[in-house]
Structure formats: C-alpha cells, structure tokens
Chain A
Amino acid sequence: MPPAPHTPAAEAQDHAALVVALDAGDLAGAELLAAESLAASCTGCAALVHDLAAIRGAMTALPVPPRRRDYRLTADDAARLRPFGWRRLLEWLAAPGSTVRPLAAGLATLGVVGLLLTSGLPGLLSGFGAGGAASSPLMAPAESPVDNAAPGGSGDVQFQGTYAPEAAPSGAPGNEPGLAATAAPAAVPNAAPSGDPAAVAGEAATADPTVERVGATGTSDSPPELGKAAGPDAASTVPLPALVSLALLAAGLALLAGRMVARHRLT
C-alpha cells in the first residue's frame, strides 16, 4: 500500500496531534524536542498550545446542574433488588446474564443425544451386525415379526414380548389381532426376570401366540396372574440410560419454560 500523500492538511493534522500530546505532557525524547521546536517556530501551533491550556483550565470550573432527585432507596427498591424466596428464583431464571439458558440448553442437548444413542445408534449398528440389535429393546420392532413369533424360537425372550402385538397376526393368521395384542405382553414378565436358559426356553414356548390367546381369553389356568404381571414389568424393558436422557431433556425444557414464564412475569 503506497504511503499517504504529504499534503498541507495532513501536515497540519500531524502538527496538531504533536502539539496536543505536548500539552498533555505525553511526549518524551526526540518527539518532545520536535514538538517544542514546532511550538516555538509555528504561530498556529503556539496558539493551539495556549488555547488548549485555557480550555483545560476552564474545565475545573465547569458548571454542574443542581441535583433534582433523591437517590435513596425505598424498602420496595431494596426488596426488588435483593429478592427473597420464590421471587429470587424468578429473578435468577429471568436474569439476562444468568446461567439458566446455557444450563437448560446443555441439559436438553444431553437428553437428546442420550435418547439418540440409546435408541438410534444400536439400530444403526444392527444394520452391520446380526446380533447387535439384541442389545436394544427400543429398536426391537425393526426386527422381523415372523422370526419372533415362531414357537420355541431361539431369539431373545424380550423380543418375544415386545414383538407379540405385531407378531401375532402374522404368526397366526386366523387369530383376531386384538386378542393377540392383549395376550402378548404376558410373555415378557414371565420370561424376563429369569436368567435361567431353561426357564427362558420354557417361557419362550409360552410365547406362542396360540397359547397366549387362550390365556387371554380366559381359558387358561391362571389368566389373572398373567394380566397382573404385565403392567409393572413392561416398563422395565426401557433401559436406564434412556430414562436418564428423557429426564435430562425434560429438565432442560422445564428450565427454558420456567425462564420464559419468569421473564414474562417480571416484565
């Protein structure tokens, strides 16, 4: 980049900058000597030096308008500025620079990522390996219902219960879908708690849609037990990481909602 042309205006600006620095006492060494010589030889620079000193001197006598307000704090001001109880919580939530927003965003992000990992990632992995899917109950519906509906099948027992509602119609074409869906969850509670392979095999056999349908329609020996066990144990098929992720997501969203409400109430 070529240097700026040395015009009289630019030179005057340079001189003024040097003189004002001289007036402020900000120069030393060669610059000081140059500025002093400039002030002595240039009438305009000398006038500038005198004017700056005069303005600086007048500055101390600058008039101040009278104070028209009493700035003492009232009890209401104090309560508003240092809130207690729920109002303090609201203030914290609504504060512009508070940590609420990043915290909420972080929690929600962790929750979403956790949910994706616990549900989506195993599904992706199962595309590359046959056994990989067995580790994730949430992705189980992607499996072929025909395989799981087979009586005495060697598949995971959990799959039996999970798939039963869909599997029953294909496994037993003549059955009423509603009946099969009702009976299906019974296979899970009976099989899942038992780690014994023999028991698993036995329970897997009971997952046969035909047997379950009979039980569900009231012809089984113990239909009430089947119905009773189905409710609470069905929830245990949701893995803990997924529950934690869901809780994190909910907490993050709740914080964001709380912040919105707090801001709305305080404005």
Chain B
Amino acid sequence: MDDPRSTTTGERTAAERPFTRPGDEAAARRDEILVARALDGDLTAFNQLVEAYQDLCHSLVARLVPDPDQAADAVQEAFFSAYRHLRSYRGPSFRGWLTRIAVNAAMDLQRARKRRPVSPYPELEDESWQPPAGPETDPETLTVAAERGHALAAALAAIGSDQRAAIVLFDVEGYDYAEIARMTGVSLGTVKSRIHRGRLALRAILAERMELFRS
C-alpha cells in the first residue's frame, strides 16, 4: 500500500508523530529546570510538572484502561512513581520518561486486576458528549463522529489489554514499534503481532457497524 506512515520497522519521522510539536523544545528545557528544582526538594516544582502532564497521562491511560477508577489510580500511581524515582531520571525527555512510567503503571494495574469486571466510561455513554468541533460542524457529521467514537471505544475495551496497549500506543500516541517494545518490555515481533491481531479483533467486533467508519 502507499501508506507513507509506516515502514517495515514502524519508524516514523518527527513530523508524523502527533506529540512532536514546535513548542516541545521549550517545554523540554522548562522540564529540566523543574526536575532540578524538584530534586532539591521543591514540591511545587514537581507539581508544576504534574500540571503540565496530567492531561496527557490521563488521556493515554484512559485509553489503555477501560475502567475509569482504575485509570485514575494508574495515573496517580505513575506520578507517585515518578516522584519516588526522580533521581533515576537521566533525560533527555521528561515527557517520554513519564509516558513510559504511565504505560507501565497502566499495564501493571491491569495485570493485577485482570479478573475484576470493568465498568466502561459512563461519560462516553452520555449522549451530551460530543467530539471536539472540527471543520465539519453539521449535526449529522457530529452525530456520526460521536457514534463512531463510542463504538470504537467499546471495541477497544473488549480486546485484550496487551493488544489494546500496542494499538493505542501505535495508532493514537504515535510511537513506533521499537519504542513500544521498549515501553512494554517485549520484542519487536511481539509488538507487531499484537497490533496485527488487535486490528483484526477490532474489525471482527465492529463488523456490524462498519458503515459508521466507511462514511
């Protein structure tokens, strides 16, 4: 296929990565200063880092963990762990380091509570929720987009946690295979396999509702 996004190793250029933005370098410099102050015992500095990244961590973990309470616990645990192990941070990107901690916290928590039944996000069942307004603001498009989002979230919640993590990290967060392999502690081949199998599983779950996605 002529998809320029992916290569055989799943590498992506900086422009293709959704989290690489022009302000990232300034943010990285700010992070280094805040980390240094936090290491000196300045809790306010660490909380500034939390404020900067709690939305990012929340959105990432909420996609990995279907249960809202578990997701919130995982994010909290990630920040606790970051504070506890701040001395082990060696750079170059605090954002990347924190993301790895959040992914690990989410996966650890899911492994620990694998057998516990999950209650999906009630927010997503709420009809008043609408996706962020884009160029298409006509009611029908918005309704279809909302319906598609709900269906996709439910399908993601239904597949295995390892496959979900690999798909979210690759398709939503924009990491490449090697980064996902490092984050999740598995081989490159396993990451590929999880993504492939996960996509097939999603397609099987969404088979009855594919018209939402084809439109």
Segment among A2-10, A57-65, A124-132 that sits at the interface with chain B: A57-65
Option from A55, A63, A69, A78 in Cβ contact (under 8 Å) with B206: A55
Does chain B have a CB within 8 A of A50?
Answer: yes
Option from B10, B123, B171 in Cβ contact (under 8 Å) with A26: B10
Segment among A16-24, A148-156, A193-201 that sits at the interface with chain B: A16-24
Does chain B have a CB within 8 A of A28?
Answer: yes
A23 x B213 contact (CB < 8 A): no
Does chain B have a CB within 8 A of A27?
Answer: yes
Please tell me the size bucket of the interface on B: 35 or more
B170-215 residues with Cβ-Cβ distance < 8 A to A are: 171-172, 192, 195-196, 199-200, 202-203, 206, 210, 213-214
Does chain B have a CB within 8 A of A54?
Answer: yes
B8 x A65 contact (CB < 8 A): no
Chain A: interface secondary structure? Answer: helix
A48 x B72 contact (CB < 8 A): no
Enumerate chain B residues within 8 angstroms of A27, measured Cβ to Cβ: 8
Does chain B have a CB within 8 A of A14?
Answer: no
Enumerate chain B residues within 8 angstroms of A25, measured Cβ to Cβ: 1, 3, 5-8, 10
A11-60 residues with Cβ-Cβ distance < 8 A to B are: 16-17, 20-28, 36, 48-52, 54-60
In angstroms, Cα B43 to Cα A54, docked, is 45
In angstroms, Cα B131 to Cα A68, docked, is 18
In angstroms, Cα B80 to Cα A59, docked, is 30
Does chain A have a CB within 8 A of B97?
Answer: no
Segment among B26-34, B57-65, B109-117 that sits at the interface with chain A: B57-65
In angstroms, Cα B62 to Cα A153, docked, is 87
A64 x B3 contact (CB < 8 A): no
Of all chain B residues, the one with the shortest Cβ separation from A72 is B47
In angstroms, Cα B131 to Cα A49, docked, is 26
Option from A51, A72, A75, A81 in Cβ contact (under 8 Å) with B50: A72
What are the 6 closest A-B residue pairs judged by CB atoms, nearest first? Answer: A25-B6, A54-B213, A63-B149, A65-B123, A59-B171, A72-B47
B contact set with A: CB distance below 8 Å: 1, 3, 5-8, 10, 18, 43, 46-47, 50-51, 54-55, 57-59, 62-63, 68, 72, 75-76, 79-80, 83-84, 121, 123-124, 129, 131, 145-146, 148-150, 152-153, 156, 167, 171-172, 192, 195-196, 199-200, 202-203, 206, 210, 213-214
Known: A50-B214, A61-B131, A82-B84. 12 other contacts (CB 8 A): A20-B199, A25-B6, A25-B8, A55-B213, A59-B167, A62-B149, A62-B152, A63-B129, A64-B58, A71-B54, A72-B50, A82-B83
A contact set with B: CB distance below 8 Å: 16-17, 20-28, 36, 48-52, 54-73, 75, 77-78, 81-82
Q: List 16 A-B contacts (CB under 8 A).
A: A17-B196, A21-B192, A23-B1, A24-B196, A25-B3, A25-B7, A48-B203, A55-B213, A58-B149, A60-B172, A65-B123, A67-B58, A69-B75, A71-B57, A75-B43, A82-B84
